[in-house]
Amino acid sequence: MAVEWIPLIGKGILESIYMTFWGSICSGLIGLILGVLLAMTYRDGLSPNRFIYFVIGTLVNVIRSIPFIILLIFVGPLTRTLVGTTLGPKGVLVPLVICAAPYVARVVETALFEVPQEIKEAARSMGAGVLTTMFRVVIPEAMPSLLSGGVITITLILGYSAMAGIVGGGGLGDLAIRYGYYRYESQVMMVVVLLLIIFVQVIQLCGFKVVKKIDKRKTGGN
């Protein structure tokens, strides 16, 4: 039955959106916290601390060095403890967040480093504290870069969610594996690839439109 997979496309799309949305939200929040800490504790940061920077930086680098497929299996016991299963969209969220958060942290750190040192020093010289300078001055100034990195991260998470299909993670990836690969139905694979391309294009176009609107550095504030 070559068409039995067609009704499953809608379910696959919804599951992929679910994983991408919640994966982006959770990894974004965790990554933002880690990225801010990295930027603040760096030797040229607002509050240098070599020990904290080393610990967080090492943790981020270690997790980033593990391929997502391996991480899926490695954190299986933790995933089962937290959400009760390692299968389906729910079971993918934990490894998805663990894998994406360090990437977000480095994106945030890089974006905050791009803010000129003079701006930070000016805020500090006017009596602003470390946290005030970071959240009232540095982060707003870095917002276009942060959002650009966020758009790229969302597409990355979408790709990870599709990869999770190989271990029963649900979504479009699972559909492609079960019908396109195991049953040799090439049309399924083609449909999934086309849908993923469309998703990425929509995310990119919408995301960068938002970035352009708030990027005062390019528009001169107009």
Instruction: Report the Cα–Cα distance between both ends of the chain, in Å, rounded.
Output: 58
Tokens 């894998």: give the residue: 99
In a domain, 3, yes or no: no
Q: How many domains does the chain have?
A: 1
Position 157 in a domain: yes
pLDDT band at 200 (very low <50, low <70, confident <90, very high): very high
pLDDT higher than threshold 60 for residue 218: no
The enclosing domain of 80 has a CATH number of: 1.10.3720.10
> Among the listed ranges 105-109, 155-159, 171-175, which one has the minimum average pLDDT value?
171-175
Question: Is 101 a domain residue?
Answer: yes
Residues in CB range of 155: below 8 A, 6 or more apart: 200, 203, 204
Residue 216 in this model has a pLDDT that exceeds 70: no
Does 201 fall in a domain?
A: yes
- Looking at 27-31, 72-76, 103-107, which range is the least confident one? 72-76
Can you give the residue range of the structural domain that contains 193?
Answer: 8-219
* Inside any domain, residue 38: yes
Q: Which long-range contacts (CB under 8 A, 24 or more apart) does 134-137 make?
A: 134/36, 134/39, 134/40, 134/46
Calculate the alpha carbon distances from 143 to 23, 81, 134, 173 in Å.
Answer: 21, 36, 12, 32
Radius of gyration of the chain (CA): 20
Sequence-ordered alpha helix ranges (H) in the chain: 8-41, 50-64, 68-74, 76-83, 88-113, 117-125, 130-132, 139-163, 171-175, 186-214, 216-219
Within-domain flag for 1: no
User: 129-143, 144-158, 162-176, 191-205 — which is least confidently predicted?
Assistant: 162-176
